[in-house]
A and B are shown apart, each in its own frame.
Chain A
């Protein structure tokens, strides 16, 4: 046993073990020191966790779009972050108009539904056009070609929306019903908006899961993701199923955009970029191509990112650890891809067909 292990153990493996070991040691020592110092009370940690879950639900919704498309086309839809941005950005104008006319405060439920409808429709339109113009003609090209197209599409969409709507930050209006917080007894309070985001995301994800598992279209989608050619032989219209997959992913992304905008109140043309990479990380974390995996990965990443900087870095005496939360997320992406490329729940896809 040991001899065989030593034979296969190379210098690069040693390097990787060293990197992994030192990061693990850093995390353990950092957490220990932070907890021992005790600057943070239970209430702080509770806030971090709730915030992380809310943020993580948004990531999970976006991650589902990556995972759905990857499952079927085996490509990373790099422009998915712009699908998400387009919904939130367009939604702003509807929200703003409804706020000015007073409709938002009189009929908050109806107004929010309209807002979601507009954002999701915009996202779906963008995604369908994207699929039709940029991806479909390249479905049988070498792998690098659609990926580069997707990168191009991402920048094209970003700067098109910048040109159309302007480059400044737009502030979402205040929704009165979503203001304020609930007390959970003692010192624990929870923001209403965070609860709404978590619940809405959970409902949407449950809906998607049921759709994919129970409906005819869902069944066809699963068949296409197994094998496109055989699915076509079974009488499935592959092109139509791919379009529906893009529609599903885009609808979730549009909803995620509005939820994000309601929580953080600000939208601009560049808002998709970072959440896009994070959501991709979440999808990889859960095992790309795997729907429950994306949900789990999103929540996990949100938590990690919210709790992580304080827990791991504060004790090490690093100033302003929250600045490094993106570093934590990206490091996690790299580590997952190195040590468990299949993700938490995923299947072997990284090397199989890549």
Chain B
């Protein structure tokens, strides 16, 4: 103890203020109230409160890290100060809402919000509770900061799983109660009757199991991995094939467990995976930012609709079956992918993004217009789109459609993988890194770009065709720009150019909002925030492709090198 630890309270104050702004925003946007209806631990804590706590925890964490030059007891003070400031700003909001009626301007500054913020205790004790809770959460954040990493990781993971299971309890209960053995455990974990969220003992049990499991893996995981690596190659391969076979069996059996509602969610996720795999080729492999990707989805859907429906004048002439129309729909998408690709061959980056966005809008407006109404139905759309059928199985229920979509995804995955590792795949990556150099190396840019646009459009068209058949009707409103943004977000969150990333991204960004109704209201707000945060902190995505990861970290390392050594 030669040097006194210096406590920079101004830093803690500043971070607390930023945390306060975030907390105010979360409250005023309406998330606290909306999410307040879903309990994580029944009767104890709701999703809305969890959001505020997360804001305070983050603030406390940064304050603890930035206000003190080395972890120690003063970190607790830093965290507490930040937490106190954050909750103080919420307290000011509560005080302001009382006398000033702001609901005409800010509809979410409501009495219900005050109730949540003051723990339904009325202003006088409630505000003190709020301040106390803020300080307490700040102290906890500071404490987490100074704990050894192994323990910290275990606690954070445990809290994460408690939150996740609490959120998903309704679904778990609905799907799993049919199984007799699980049912009893579930009713203990989730409490009985209509209450939402985990029961208190359930939450403790989940936290205990996760923390223990994490501890075991952290201490023994390396040994287990070493054991597998020590096996003879033949057995290793057998193990790999075995786990693959198990995974396939689970995927195939899944709809039986999931039931119609969850199968429907899985189908939507699947359609987005299909689109994501396509856009991944265009954006991830070839580096061409396409914001009009929904256009090909729409074309696939409309071709399927026009060819199989008997609804519009034009459609009546064709009247094909689903299987006859499917290749035509995909071919039409590819054709449009190439046709729309030709004009943008010479454009790069920003310009490409805006022009493709324009294409997407043109297609949507044309679909909506009276001009094409006799052919594709205008704003009334096309109904009675044909269903697929293999012998006696009709693809009209979620549980059967699931297999069609899984087959599509596997096909797209296979094609993506083979293309990635072949000559065109390498050409795409070369082009992504530097177009001019790639051209100098003898890569035909025109062919390479058009192949990327065409393949991407094919997957999207396939997805659209299946979508049309799944819904049974097509309306222009289904093809808004938001779909393109959705797909773009999911491949960026997963990791640009990474195939497993597409699956992770789709599960998180499409699956979660479908499961939790409250999320869908704030879906785009969260996507936007997620895109910014990802680009600022982890531009390579959650499951990055190897080269991308190296690249981003190289750039970061060379930039910060003079100041500090790279963290990882």
In the complex the two chains form, what is the Cα distance from A148 to B350 in whole Å? 10
Assess A323 versus B348: contact at CB under 8 Å? Given A153-B528, A156-B532, A164-B108: no
- With a cutoff of 8 Å between Cβ atoms, the chain B residues found around residue A164 in the complex are 28-29, 106, 108
User: B350 contacts which chain A residues (CB < 8 A)?
Assistant: 75-76, 143, 147, 354
User: Distance in Å from the Cβ of A149 to the closest Cβ of chain B?
Assistant: 4
* A106 interface contact, C-beta 8 A: no
Does residue A93 face the partner (Cβ distance < 8 Å to B)? yes
CB distance from A263 to the nearest CB of B (A): 22
Name the contact of B348 in the complex, choosing from A10, A318, A324, A350 (C-beta under 8 A): A350
Interface size on B, residues (CB 8 A): 58
Among A15, A137, A152, A157, contact of B527 (Cβ-Cβ < 8 Å): A152
Establish whether residues B369 and A354, one from each chain, have CB atoms under 8 Å apart when the complex forms.
Answer: no
Is B99's CB within 8 Å of the partner chain A?
A: no
Distance between B375 CB and nearest chain A CB, rounded to angstroms: 13
Among B25, B361, B366, B489, contact of A277 (Cβ-Cβ < 8 Å): B361
Task: Decide yes or no whether A245 CB sits under 8 A from chain B.
Answer: no
State how many angstroms separate the Cβ of B445 from the closest Cβ of chain A. 11
- Report if A16-B365 is in contact (Cβ < 8 Å); known contacts: A148-B535, A157-B528: no
- Give the interface segment out of A188-196, A199-207, A326-334: A326-334
| Contact in complex: B525, A160 (CB < 8 Å) | yes
Cβ-defined contact, B522 with A163, below 8 A:
yes
Q: Which residues of B contact A354 (CB under 8 A)?
A: 347-351
**A19: B residues at CB distance < 8 A:** 343
| Identity of the chain B residue whose Cβ is nearest the Cβ of A335 in the assembled complex | B343
Write the nearest CB–CB distance from B51 to chain A, whole angstroms: 13
| Distance (whole angstroms) from the CB of A351 to the closest CB of chain B | 7
Which of B349, B355, B536 makes the CB contact (< 8 A) with A147?
A: B349
The answer to the question of A41 belonging to the interface, with a C-beta cut-off of 8 Å to chain B, is no
Q: Within the complex, what minimum Cβ distance (angstroms) separates B447 from chain A?
A: 10
What are the residues of chain A within 8 A of B346 when measuring CB–CB? 338, 341, 350-351
For A349, the closest partner residue in chain B by CB is B351
Of A10, A149, A159, A337, which is within 8 A of B532 by CB? A149
In the complex, number of A-B residue pairs with CB atoms less than 8 Å apart: 167
Per-residue A-contact encoding for B368-392, CB less than 8 Å = 1, 0 else: 1111010000000000000000000
- Residues in A with CB closer than 8 Å to B485 are 151, 155
* CA gap between A154 and B355 in the complex, in Å: 17
Closest to B432 in A: A144
Whether A333 contacts B366 by the Cβ 8 Å rule is: no
Closest CB-CB distance, B549 to chain A, in whole Å?
A: 13
Check B348 against A277 for contact (C-beta < 8 Å): no
Q: Are A152 and B535 in contact (CB under 8 A)?
A: yes
The CA of A267 and the CA of B170, in the complex, are separated in Å by 39
Residue B289 at the chain A interface, CB threshold 8 Å: yes
A319 CA to B537 CA in the complex, in Å?
51
Q: Does B251 contact A (CB under 8 A)?
A: no
A152 touches B530 (CB 8 A): yes
Complex Cα–Cα for A330 and B358 (A)? 5
Quick one: closest A residue to B343, CB to CB? A338
Contact B354 A333 (CB under 8 A): yes
Task: Assess whether B361 is in contact with A134, with CB atoms less than 8 Å apart.
Answer: no
As a 0/1 sequence over residues 357 to 369 of chain B, the CB contacts with chain A under 8 angstroms (1 = contact) are 1110110011011
Complexed CA–CA distance, A327 and B372 (Å): 13
Among the listed A138, A320, A327, which residue makes an inter-chain contact with B362, where contact means beta carbons less than 8 Å apart?
A327
Give the residues in chain B near A163, CB-CB below 8 Å.
28-31, 108, 522, 525
Least CB distance from A26 to B in Å reads 13
Contact A323 B371 (CB under 8 A): yes
Q: Does B555 contact A (CB under 8 A)?
A: yes
Contacts of A137 in B (CB 8 A): 536
**A157, A162, A323, A331: the one within 8 Å of B370 (CB):** A323
- The number of residues on chain A lying at the interface, defined by a beta carbon within 8 Å of a beta carbon of chain B, is 59
B247 within 8 A of A: no
Within 8 A of B (CB), among A308-325: 318-320, 323-324
The verdict on A165 contacting chain B, using a C-beta distance below 8 Å, is yes
Partner of B365, one of A148, A326, A341: A326
Nearest A residue to B106 via CB reads A164
CB pair A330 B555 closer than 8 Å: no
In chain B, residues 476-490, which have Cβ atoms closer than 8 Å to a Cβ of chain A? 481, 485, 488-489
The answer to whether A319 and B524 have CB atoms under 8 Å apart is no
The answer to whether A93 and B351 touch across the interface, beta carbons within 8 angstroms, is: no
> Which chain A residues border B527 with CB–CB below 8 Å?
152, 155
A260 interface residue (CB < 8 Å to B): no
Question: Do A149 and B345 touch (CB < 8 A)?
Answer: no
For residues 140 through 189 of chain A, which have their beta carbon under 8 Å from a beta carbon of chain B? 140-149, 151-160, 162-166
B206 to chain A, nearest CB (A): 31
* Distance of A144 Cα from B432 Cα, bound (Å): 11
Q: Would you call A215 an interface residue if the criterion is a C-beta within 8 Å of the partner chain's C-beta atoms?
A: no
Q: Which residues of B contact A153 (CB under 8 A)?
A: 528, 531-532
Q: Is the CB of A149 within 8 A of B361?
A: no
Contact of B347 among A76, A151, A318, A350 (CB under 8 A): A350
Chain B residues whose CB sits within 8 angstroms of the CB of A76 once the complex forms: 350, 353-354
State the CA gap A159–B370 with chains docked (Å). Answer: 31
B73 at the interface (CB under 8 A from A): no
> Which B residues are within 8 Å of any A CB, using their own CB?
25, 28-31, 104-108, 287, 289, 291, 342-351, 353-355, 357-359, 361-362, 365-366, 368-371, 373, 446, 481, 485, 488-489, 492, 522, 524-525, 527-532, 535-536, 539, 555, 559
**A-B pairs with the 8 shortest C-beta distances?**
A152-B531, A156-B528, A163-B29, A155-B528, A159-B525, A330-B358, A354-B348, A76-B350
A-B contact pairs, 29 of them (CB 8 A): A19-B343, A133-B532, A138-B535, A142-B555, A144-B349, A145-B535, A148-B488, A152-B529, A155-B524, A155-B527, A155-B531, A158-B524, A159-B524, A163-B31, A163-B522, A164-B29, A166-B107, A281-B358, A284-B354, A320-B371, A323-B370, A324-B365, A326-B362, A330-B359, A337-B351, A337-B355, A351-B348, A354-B347, A354-B350
Kindly list 4 other residue pairs between chains A and B, CB separation below 8 angstroms, not including A75-B350, A164-B106. A16-B342, A152-B489, A155-B531, A318-B371
